[in-house]
Amino acid sequence: MGLKNNHSEIIFWLLQLIGWSMINAMIFIIPELSNQYKVYSFITATFGSIIVTSFFRLFLKNKIDFNNFRASSIYEILTSLVFCAGIYYGLFILLENIYELFWKRTPEEILWLLDNYSHLSTLLSAFFTILVWAVIYILVKFVLTTNKNRLENLELNATLREAQLNTLKGQVNPHFMFNSLNNIRGLMLEDVSKSREMITKLSEMLQYALSKNTVDAIALSEEVDMVDNYVALAKIQMEDRLHYEKEIDAESLEVMIPPMIIQLLVENAAKHGIANLKNGGKILLQTIVTATELQIVVKNTGKLSISENSTKLGLKNIRQRLRLLYGPKGQFTLEEIENEVVATIKIPTT
Protein backbone atom coordinates (compact mmCIF):
# COMPACT_ATOMS: atom_id res chain seq x y z
CA MET A 1 0.00 0.00 0.00
CA GLY A 2 2.86 2.36 0.87
CA LEU A 3 4.54 1.76 -2.49
CA LYS A 4 1.26 2.43 -4.29
CA ASN A 5 0.81 5.72 -2.41
CA ASN A 6 4.39 6.80 -3.18
CA HIS A 7 3.87 5.92 -6.84
CA SER A 8 0.67 7.99 -6.97
CA GLU A 9 2.39 10.93 -5.30
CA ILE A 10 5.26 10.87 -7.82
CA ILE A 11 2.79 10.79 -10.72
CA PHE A 12 0.82 13.69 -9.24
CA TRP A 13 3.87 15.92 -8.87
CA LEU A 14 5.13 15.04 -12.35
CA LEU A 15 1.75 15.90 -13.86
CA GLN A 16 1.67 19.13 -11.88
CA LEU A 17 5.10 20.15 -13.15
CA ILE A 18 4.48 19.10 -16.76
CA GLY A 19 0.94 20.53 -16.93
CA TRP A 20 1.69 23.94 -15.46
CA SER A 21 4.96 24.21 -17.42
CA MET A 22 3.09 23.65 -20.69
CA ILE A 23 0.41 26.19 -19.82
CA ASN A 24 2.83 28.89 -18.68
CA ALA A 25 5.22 28.22 -21.58
CA MET A 26 2.65 29.91 -23.85
CA ILE A 27 4.09 33.23 -22.69
CA PHE A 28 7.14 32.59 -24.91
CA ILE A 29 5.05 33.10 -28.10
CA ILE A 30 4.17 36.70 -27.19
CA PRO A 31 6.61 38.95 -29.15
CA GLU A 32 5.91 42.15 -27.17
CA LEU A 33 7.40 40.74 -23.96
CA SER A 34 11.11 40.74 -23.19
CA ASN A 35 12.95 37.46 -22.85
CA GLN A 36 13.86 38.38 -19.31
CA TYR A 37 10.22 38.82 -18.31
CA LYS A 38 9.20 35.65 -20.15
CA VAL A 39 11.69 33.54 -18.20
CA TYR A 40 10.76 35.21 -14.91
CA SER A 41 7.03 34.84 -15.53
CA PHE A 42 7.39 31.22 -16.68
CA ILE A 43 9.34 30.14 -13.59
CA THR A 44 7.33 32.04 -10.98
CA ALA A 45 3.92 31.32 -12.52
CA THR A 46 4.69 27.60 -12.85
CA PHE A 47 5.84 27.10 -9.28
CA GLY A 48 3.23 29.51 -7.92
CA SER A 49 0.48 27.53 -9.68
CA ILE A 50 1.88 24.26 -8.32
CA ILE A 51 1.95 25.61 -4.77
CA VAL A 52 -1.59 27.05 -4.82
CA THR A 53 -3.21 24.01 -6.44
CA SER A 54 -1.29 21.66 -4.14
CA PHE A 55 -2.76 23.43 -1.11
CA PHE A 56 -6.17 23.17 -2.76
CA ARG A 57 -5.58 19.44 -3.25
CA LEU A 58 -4.60 19.10 0.43
CA PHE A 59 -7.91 20.69 1.41
CA LEU A 60 -9.86 18.33 -0.87
CA LYS A 61 -8.07 15.26 0.53
CA ASN A 62 -8.67 16.24 4.17
CA LYS A 63 -12.16 17.75 3.98
CA ILE A 64 -13.99 16.07 1.10
CA ASP A 65 -15.04 12.44 1.33
CA PHE A 66 -15.32 11.27 -2.29
CA ASN A 67 -16.85 7.98 -1.10
CA ASN A 68 -19.72 9.92 0.49
CA PHE A 69 -20.11 12.95 -1.78
CA ARG A 70 -22.97 15.22 -0.72
CA ALA A 71 -24.52 18.52 -1.79
CA SER A 72 -22.68 20.29 1.03
CA SER A 73 -19.42 19.03 -0.49
CA ILE A 74 -20.07 21.12 -3.62
CA TYR A 75 -20.52 24.23 -1.48
CA GLU A 76 -17.27 23.52 0.37
CA ILE A 77 -15.40 23.01 -2.89
CA LEU A 78 -16.73 26.24 -4.44
CA THR A 79 -15.91 28.23 -1.31
CA SER A 80 -12.36 26.90 -1.20
CA LEU A 81 -12.04 27.45 -4.96
CA VAL A 82 -12.86 31.15 -4.60
CA PHE A 83 -10.38 31.38 -1.72
CA CYS A 84 -7.62 29.72 -3.77
CA ALA A 85 -8.40 31.94 -6.78
CA GLY A 86 -7.93 34.95 -4.50
CA ILE A 87 -4.57 33.62 -3.34
CA TYR A 88 -3.61 32.90 -6.96
CA TYR A 89 -4.54 36.46 -7.94
CA GLY A 90 -2.69 37.95 -4.96
CA LEU A 91 0.39 35.89 -5.78
CA PHE A 92 0.31 37.14 -9.38
CA ILE A 93 0.15 40.79 -8.26
CA LEU A 94 2.96 40.22 -5.75
CA LEU A 95 5.24 38.62 -8.34
CA GLU A 96 4.55 41.44 -10.80
CA ASN A 97 5.47 44.04 -8.17
CA ILE A 98 8.65 42.13 -7.30
CA TYR A 99 9.66 42.14 -10.97
CA GLU A 100 9.15 45.87 -11.25
CA LEU A 101 11.35 46.42 -8.18
CA PHE A 102 14.38 44.74 -9.73
CA TRP A 103 13.94 44.99 -13.49
CA LYS A 104 12.87 47.68 -15.94
CA ARG A 105 10.07 46.99 -18.40
CA THR A 106 10.31 47.88 -22.08
CA PRO A 107 7.72 50.30 -23.56
CA GLU A 108 6.26 47.48 -25.71
CA GLU A 109 5.92 45.34 -22.63
CA ILE A 110 4.14 48.06 -20.67
CA LEU A 111 1.67 48.70 -23.51
CA TRP A 112 0.92 44.98 -23.90
CA LEU A 113 0.29 44.54 -20.18
CA LEU A 114 -2.01 47.60 -20.11
CA ASP A 115 -4.03 46.23 -23.04
CA ASN A 116 -4.28 42.68 -21.78
CA TYR A 117 -4.38 42.86 -17.99
CA SER A 118 -6.72 44.51 -15.52
CA HIS A 119 -7.50 43.64 -11.93
CA LEU A 120 -10.88 42.19 -12.91
CA SER A 121 -9.60 40.18 -15.87
CA THR A 122 -6.68 38.88 -13.80
CA LEU A 123 -9.02 37.81 -10.98
CA LEU A 124 -11.42 36.11 -13.42
CA SER A 125 -8.51 34.42 -15.16
CA ALA A 126 -7.22 33.14 -11.82
CA PHE A 127 -10.68 31.82 -10.90
CA PHE A 128 -11.14 30.12 -14.28
CA THR A 129 -7.67 28.54 -14.14
CA ILE A 130 -8.22 27.10 -10.66
CA LEU A 131 -11.74 25.98 -11.67
CA VAL A 132 -10.44 24.02 -14.67
CA TRP A 133 -7.73 22.43 -12.52
CA ALA A 134 -10.30 21.51 -9.84
CA VAL A 135 -12.69 19.96 -12.38
CA ILE A 136 -9.91 17.84 -13.88
CA TYR A 137 -8.61 16.81 -10.45
CA ILE A 138 -12.07 15.90 -9.10
CA LEU A 139 -12.95 13.92 -12.23
CA VAL A 140 -9.69 11.98 -12.00
CA LYS A 141 -10.28 11.50 -8.26
CA PHE A 142 -13.77 10.15 -8.89
CA VAL A 143 -12.50 7.74 -11.54
CA LEU A 144 -9.69 6.50 -9.29
CA THR A 145 -12.02 6.22 -6.28
CA THR A 146 -14.58 4.27 -8.33
CA ASN A 147 -11.92 1.89 -9.61
CA LYS A 148 -10.47 1.50 -6.12
CA ASN A 149 -13.91 0.70 -4.66
CA ARG A 150 -14.58 -1.77 -7.46
CA LEU A 151 -11.27 -3.54 -6.85
CA GLU A 152 -11.87 -3.55 -3.09
CA ASN A 153 -15.33 -5.05 -3.61
CA LEU A 154 -13.87 -7.75 -5.83
CA GLU A 155 -11.18 -8.45 -3.26
CA LEU A 156 -13.78 -8.39 -0.47
CA ASN A 157 -15.97 -10.94 -2.25
CA ALA A 158 -13.00 -13.18 -3.02
CA THR A 159 -11.72 -12.97 0.55
CA LEU A 160 -15.20 -13.57 1.92
CA ARG A 161 -15.58 -16.73 -0.14
CA GLU A 162 -12.17 -17.88 1.06
CA ALA A 163 -13.07 -17.07 4.67
CA GLN A 164 -16.31 -19.03 4.35
CA LEU A 165 -14.41 -22.00 2.94
CA ASN A 166 -11.91 -21.83 5.79
CA THR A 167 -14.81 -21.64 8.22
CA LEU A 168 -16.32 -24.78 6.71
CA LYS A 169 -12.98 -26.55 7.08
CA GLY A 170 -12.78 -25.45 10.70
CA GLN A 171 -16.39 -26.30 11.52
CA VAL A 172 -16.81 -29.74 9.99
CA ASN A 173 -14.13 -31.07 12.27
CA PRO A 174 -13.09 -34.60 11.24
CA HIS A 175 -12.23 -35.38 14.87
CA PHE A 176 -15.69 -34.37 16.03
CA MET A 177 -17.36 -36.34 13.25
CA PHE A 178 -15.26 -39.44 14.01
CA ASN A 179 -15.92 -39.24 17.75
CA SER A 180 -19.63 -38.64 17.20
CA LEU A 181 -19.94 -41.71 14.98
CA ASN A 182 -18.03 -43.81 17.50
CA ASN A 183 -20.18 -42.54 20.36
CA ILE A 184 -23.37 -43.23 18.41
CA ARG A 185 -22.12 -46.76 17.64
CA GLY A 186 -21.61 -47.36 21.37
CA LEU A 187 -24.99 -45.83 22.14
CA MET A 188 -26.72 -48.25 19.76
CA LEU A 189 -25.96 -51.12 22.18
CA GLU A 190 -27.79 -49.29 24.96
CA ASP A 191 -30.52 -47.23 23.31
CA VAL A 192 -31.39 -47.80 19.66
CA SER A 193 -34.02 -45.06 19.46
CA LYS A 194 -31.63 -42.56 21.06
CA SER A 195 -28.84 -43.49 18.67
CA ARG A 196 -31.23 -43.09 15.71
CA GLU A 197 -32.09 -39.61 16.98
CA MET A 198 -28.38 -38.73 17.24
CA ILE A 199 -27.71 -39.93 13.69
CA THR A 200 -30.51 -37.64 12.53
CA LYS A 201 -28.96 -34.70 14.40
CA LEU A 202 -25.53 -35.45 12.94
CA SER A 203 -27.03 -35.62 9.47
CA GLU A 204 -28.79 -32.28 10.01
CA MET A 205 -25.52 -30.71 11.15
CA LEU A 206 -23.72 -31.88 8.01
CA GLN A 207 -26.52 -30.69 5.77
CA TYR A 208 -26.59 -27.33 7.57
CA ALA A 209 -22.83 -26.84 7.29
CA LEU A 210 -22.79 -27.66 3.56
CA SER A 211 -25.91 -25.71 2.58
CA LYS A 212 -25.18 -22.55 4.60
CA ASN A 213 -21.57 -22.20 3.51
CA THR A 214 -22.63 -20.28 0.39
CA VAL A 215 -24.71 -17.62 2.18
CA ASP A 216 -23.55 -14.62 4.20
CA ALA A 217 -26.37 -14.48 6.75
CA ILE A 218 -29.16 -16.59 8.26
CA ALA A 219 -31.77 -16.06 10.97
CA LEU A 220 -30.37 -16.55 14.47
CA SER A 221 -33.13 -19.08 15.20
CA GLU A 222 -31.70 -21.44 12.56
CA GLU A 223 -28.26 -21.22 14.11
CA VAL A 224 -29.62 -21.92 17.60
CA ASP A 225 -31.35 -25.08 16.36
CA MET A 226 -28.10 -26.32 14.88
CA VAL A 227 -26.25 -25.55 18.13
CA ASP A 228 -28.82 -27.66 20.01
CA ASN A 229 -27.94 -30.57 17.73
CA TYR A 230 -24.23 -30.07 18.39
CA VAL A 231 -24.74 -30.01 22.17
CA ALA A 232 -26.87 -33.15 22.03
CA LEU A 233 -24.07 -34.97 20.19
CA ALA A 234 -21.40 -33.63 22.54
CA LYS A 235 -23.40 -34.87 25.54
CA ILE A 236 -23.14 -38.47 24.33
CA GLN A 237 -19.48 -38.35 25.30
CA MET A 238 -19.53 -35.83 28.16
CA GLU A 239 -22.89 -36.93 29.59
CA ASP A 240 -23.74 -35.03 32.79
CA ARG A 241 -20.40 -33.21 32.76
CA LEU A 242 -21.84 -30.83 30.18
CA HIS A 243 -24.64 -28.51 31.30
CA TYR A 244 -26.07 -26.30 28.57
CA GLU A 245 -28.42 -23.35 29.12
CA LYS A 246 -29.91 -20.71 26.82
CA GLU A 247 -31.17 -17.20 27.48
CA ILE A 248 -32.40 -16.13 24.07
CA ASP A 249 -33.94 -12.70 23.60
CA ALA A 250 -37.11 -13.25 21.55
CA GLU A 251 -36.32 -10.15 19.47
CA SER A 252 -33.02 -11.72 18.40
CA LEU A 253 -34.50 -14.81 16.74
CA GLU A 254 -35.08 -13.11 13.38
CA VAL A 255 -31.86 -11.09 13.37
CA MET A 256 -29.58 -12.15 10.50
CA ILE A 257 -26.14 -13.41 11.52
CA PRO A 258 -23.23 -15.18 9.76
CA PRO A 259 -23.91 -18.96 9.67
CA MET A 260 -22.06 -21.30 12.04
CA ILE A 261 -20.65 -18.45 14.11
CA ILE A 262 -22.48 -19.36 17.35
CA GLN A 263 -21.83 -23.06 16.83
CA LEU A 264 -18.12 -22.30 16.63
CA LEU A 265 -18.22 -20.47 19.98
CA VAL A 266 -20.12 -23.29 21.67
CA GLU A 267 -17.81 -25.93 20.17
CA ASN A 268 -14.80 -23.94 21.35
CA ALA A 269 -16.31 -23.72 24.86
CA ALA A 270 -16.94 -27.47 24.97
CA LYS A 271 -13.66 -28.59 23.44
CA HIS A 272 -11.26 -26.20 25.21
CA GLY A 273 -13.29 -25.61 28.34
CA ILE A 274 -15.67 -28.28 29.64
CA ALA A 275 -13.79 -31.25 28.19
CA ASN A 276 -10.70 -30.33 30.24
CA LEU A 277 -12.57 -30.16 33.56
CA LYS A 278 -12.83 -33.34 35.64
CA ASN A 279 -16.21 -32.40 37.05
CA GLY A 280 -17.39 -30.72 33.88
CA GLY A 281 -19.13 -27.37 33.82
CA LYS A 282 -21.76 -25.17 32.21
CA ILE A 283 -22.10 -23.48 28.84
CA LEU A 284 -24.49 -20.54 28.72
CA LEU A 285 -25.68 -19.02 25.44
CA GLN A 286 -27.17 -15.51 25.69
CA THR A 287 -28.47 -13.11 23.09
CA ILE A 288 -29.27 -9.48 23.79
CA VAL A 289 -30.79 -6.98 21.38
CA THR A 290 -30.22 -3.25 21.88
CA ALA A 291 -31.26 -0.28 19.77
CA THR A 292 -28.20 -0.59 17.55
CA GLU A 293 -26.70 -4.05 17.89
CA LEU A 294 -27.11 -7.74 18.64
CA GLN A 295 -24.91 -9.18 21.36
CA ILE A 296 -24.16 -12.91 21.34
CA VAL A 297 -22.50 -14.14 24.52
CA VAL A 298 -21.19 -17.66 25.18
CA LYS A 299 -19.92 -18.35 28.70
CA ASN A 300 -18.29 -21.53 29.91
CA THR A 301 -16.81 -22.70 33.19
CA GLY A 302 -13.01 -22.76 33.16
CA LYS A 303 -9.87 -20.77 32.47
CA LEU A 304 -8.90 -18.97 29.28
CA SER A 305 -6.03 -21.03 27.92
CA ILE A 306 -5.42 -21.96 24.31
CA SER A 307 -3.13 -24.88 23.51
CA GLU A 308 0.16 -24.02 21.84
CA ASN A 309 -0.62 -26.66 19.22
CA SER A 310 -3.93 -24.99 18.36
CA THR A 311 -4.09 -23.21 14.99
CA LYS A 312 -6.70 -20.82 16.41
CA LEU A 313 -8.44 -21.20 13.03
CA GLY A 314 -11.90 -20.83 14.52
CA LEU A 315 -11.14 -17.59 16.35
CA LYS A 316 -9.38 -16.14 13.31
CA ASN A 317 -12.37 -17.03 11.14
CA ILE A 318 -14.77 -15.26 13.49
CA ARG A 319 -12.74 -12.04 13.48
CA GLN A 320 -12.18 -12.15 9.74
CA ARG A 321 -15.82 -12.75 8.87
CA LEU A 322 -17.04 -9.99 11.21
CA ARG A 323 -14.53 -7.56 9.72
CA LEU A 324 -15.51 -8.44 6.15
CA LEU A 325 -19.25 -8.29 6.76
CA TYR A 326 -19.58 -5.40 9.22
CA GLY A 327 -16.27 -3.49 9.24
CA PRO A 328 -15.35 -1.89 12.57
CA LYS A 329 -18.93 -2.29 13.85
CA GLY A 330 -18.55 -6.07 14.05
CA GLN A 331 -16.66 -6.93 17.24
CA PHE A 332 -15.41 -10.11 18.91
CA THR A 333 -13.84 -10.41 22.36
CA LEU A 334 -12.65 -13.40 24.37
CA GLU A 335 -11.83 -12.92 28.03
CA GLU A 336 -11.81 -14.60 31.43
CA ILE A 337 -14.19 -13.19 34.06
CA GLU A 338 -14.55 -14.76 37.52
CA ASN A 339 -13.57 -18.33 36.56
CA GLU A 340 -15.59 -18.17 33.35
CA VAL A 341 -14.46 -17.77 29.77
CA VAL A 342 -16.69 -15.20 28.09
CA ALA A 343 -16.87 -14.90 24.30
CA THR A 344 -18.85 -11.91 23.01
CA ILE A 345 -19.85 -11.04 19.46
CA LYS A 346 -21.44 -7.69 18.61
CA ILE A 347 -23.25 -7.27 15.30
CA PRO A 348 -24.89 -4.01 14.17
CA THR A 349 -28.63 -4.18 13.55
CA THR A 350 -29.00 -0.73 11.98
Regarding whether 276 and 235 lie in a shared domain, the answer is yes
15: in domain: yes
CATH number of the domain at 312, please. Answer: 3.30.565.10
What confidence tens digit (pLDDT) does each residue in 100-121 have?
888 888 888 888 877 777 777 7
Is residue 54, in this structure, part of any structural domain at all?
yes
Please check whether residue 251 lies inside any domain of the structure: yes
The better pLDDT of the pair 161, 70 is held by 70
CA pair distance 317, 296, nearest whole angstrom: 16
What are 225-266's pLDDT values in tens digits? 989 988 888 888 788 899 999 999 999 999 999 888 898 899
**Residue ending a domain, choose from 160, 180, 198:** 160
Query: What residues contact residue 309 under an 8 Å CB cut-off, 6+ apart?
Result: none
Q: How confident is the model at residue 297 (pLDDT cuts 50, 70, 90)?
A: very high
d(CA 31, CA 124): 24
The answer to the question of residue 146 being in a domain is yes
Instruction: Decide if 319 is inside a domain.
Output: yes
Does residue 151 share a domain with residue 293? no
* Domain span holding position 107: 2-160
Q: What tens digit of pLDDT does each residue of 203-219 get?
A: 887 777 777 666 778 89
Question: Do the beta carbons of residue 317 and residue 345 sit within 8 Å?
Answer: no
Provide the pairing of β-strand 256-257 with 218-219: antiparallel
Domain end point (choices 103, 136, 160): 160
- Local structure of residue 275 (DSSP, 8 states): G
Tell which of 160, 181, 207 closes a domain: 160
Q: pLDDT at residue 199 above 70?
A: yes
Q: Is 93 helix (H, G, I), strand (E, B) or coil?
A: helix
Strand partners, 348: 293
**Do residues 222 and 152 share a domain?**
no
Mean pLDDT (whole number) for 147-169: 67
One domain for residues 138 and 251: no
The pLDDT, as a whole number, for residue 220 is 94
Average pLDDT of the residues in 186-193: 79
Give the helix ranges, DSSP H, for 103-118.
107-116
Q: Based on the domain organization, do 227 and 126 belong to the same domain?
A: no
Closest alpha carbon to 226 in 239, 242, 250, 210: 210
Q: For the chain, how many structural domains are there in total?
A: 2
Query: From CA 232, how far away is CA 239, in angstroms rounded?
Result: 9
Q: H or E stretch including 184?
A: helix 174-188
Do the domain assignments include residue 35?
yes
pLDDT of the residue at 250: 93
Phi then psi for 277, rounded to 5 degrees?
-100, 130
Do 289 and 195 lie in a common domain?
A: yes
User: What pTM was computed for the model?
Assistant: 0.51
